[in-house]
């Protein structure tokens, strides 16, 4: 098994959850806080980081992470969460996922990291499913990516997705089940999650 001590897993959990009606970091899946449920499924062996936002610090399950860092302002979106994670990571690599992607597993994250390691000149690595490029999970070489993401943010860009156009960001096809990309954006997505075999999901 590969050593992932040089890869920090960052979970972005600072969103307002406007479509869901409540912060998604407070969801519970099968009776557990979503953060605990997700990390139990991922079983990451390297360092871990939780990224939250002002007013949404310390969600249920935050204590299982090695560290929690907070975006400087709320409501900017995942691009700021990525930048906050990069600025606080002390490892060579960063692998990033969002709290609302409950079907992501450790094997997916390990695959992305190994693909990134095989491209030593790359600053970032994103996946493409059968439909489009997906901003998460994505891997980043911290030293190179900090400047790239910061400059991207300074232009007013607010999507991680648009980083795919940077010449130092690689996009590759990921042959994973389509359910891997499920995002819990609204109540209808909780129903979709249950159809995948999850017994219960909600607040």
Higher pLDDT, 21 or 151: 151
Band (pLDDT 50/70/90 cuts) for residue 97 is very high
Using a 10 angstrom Cβ sphere, with 0-12 exposed, 13-18 middle and 19 or more buried, the burial of residue 90 is exposed
**pLDDT tens track for 168-177:** 999 999 999 9
Lateral strand order in the sheet of 93-98: 67-70, 48-52, 7-12, 93-98, 133-141, 124-128, 169-173
The answer on pLDDT for 152 being more than 90 is: yes
Q: Which domains does the chain have, with CATH numbers?
A: 7-202 (3.90.550.10)
* Residue 148 confidence (pLDDT): 97
Q: Do 182 and 196 touch, CB atoms closer than 8 A?
A: yes
Q: How many angstroms separate the CA atoms of 62 and 51, rounded? A: 10
Band (pLDDT 50/70/90 cuts) for residue 1 is low
Lateral strand order in the sheet of 201-202: 32-33, 28-29, 201-202
Average confidence score pLDDT of the chain: 95
What is the average per-residue pLDDT within 109-124?
Answer: 95
What dihedral angle (degrees, nearest 10) is formed by the CA atoms of 110, 112, 117, 121?
Answer: -160
Q: How many angstroms separate the CA atoms of 34 and 136, rounded? A: 17
The answer on pLDDT for 49 being more than 70 is: yes
The answer on pLDDT for 35 being more than 60 is: yes
């Amino acid at each position: 098994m590969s050593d992932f001590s040089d890869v920090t897993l960052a979970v972005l959990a600072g969103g307002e959850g406007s479509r869901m009606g409540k912060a998604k970091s407070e969801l519970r899946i099968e009776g557990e806080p979503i953060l605990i449920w997700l990390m139990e499924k991922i079983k990451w062996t390297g360092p871990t980081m939780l990224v939250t936002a002002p007013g949404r610090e310390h969600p249920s399950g935050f204590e299982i992470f090695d560290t929690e860092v907070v975006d400087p302002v709320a409501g900017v979106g995942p691009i700021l969460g990525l930048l906050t994670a990069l600025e606080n990571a002390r490892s060579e690599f960063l692998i990033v996922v969002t709290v609302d992607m409950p079907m992501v597993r450790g094997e997916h994250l390990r695959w992305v990291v190994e693909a990134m390691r095989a491209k030593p000149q790359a600053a970032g690595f994103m996946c493409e499913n059968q439909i489009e490029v997906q901003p998460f999970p994505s891997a980043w070489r911290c030293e190179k990516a900090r400047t790239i993401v910061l400059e991207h943010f300074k232009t007013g860009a607010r999507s991680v997705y648009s980083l795919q156009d940077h010449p130092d960001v690689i996009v590759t096809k990921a042959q994973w089940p389509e359910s891997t990309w499920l995002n819990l954006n609204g109540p209808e997505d909780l129903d979709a999650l249950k159809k995948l075999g999850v017994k219960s999901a909600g607040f």
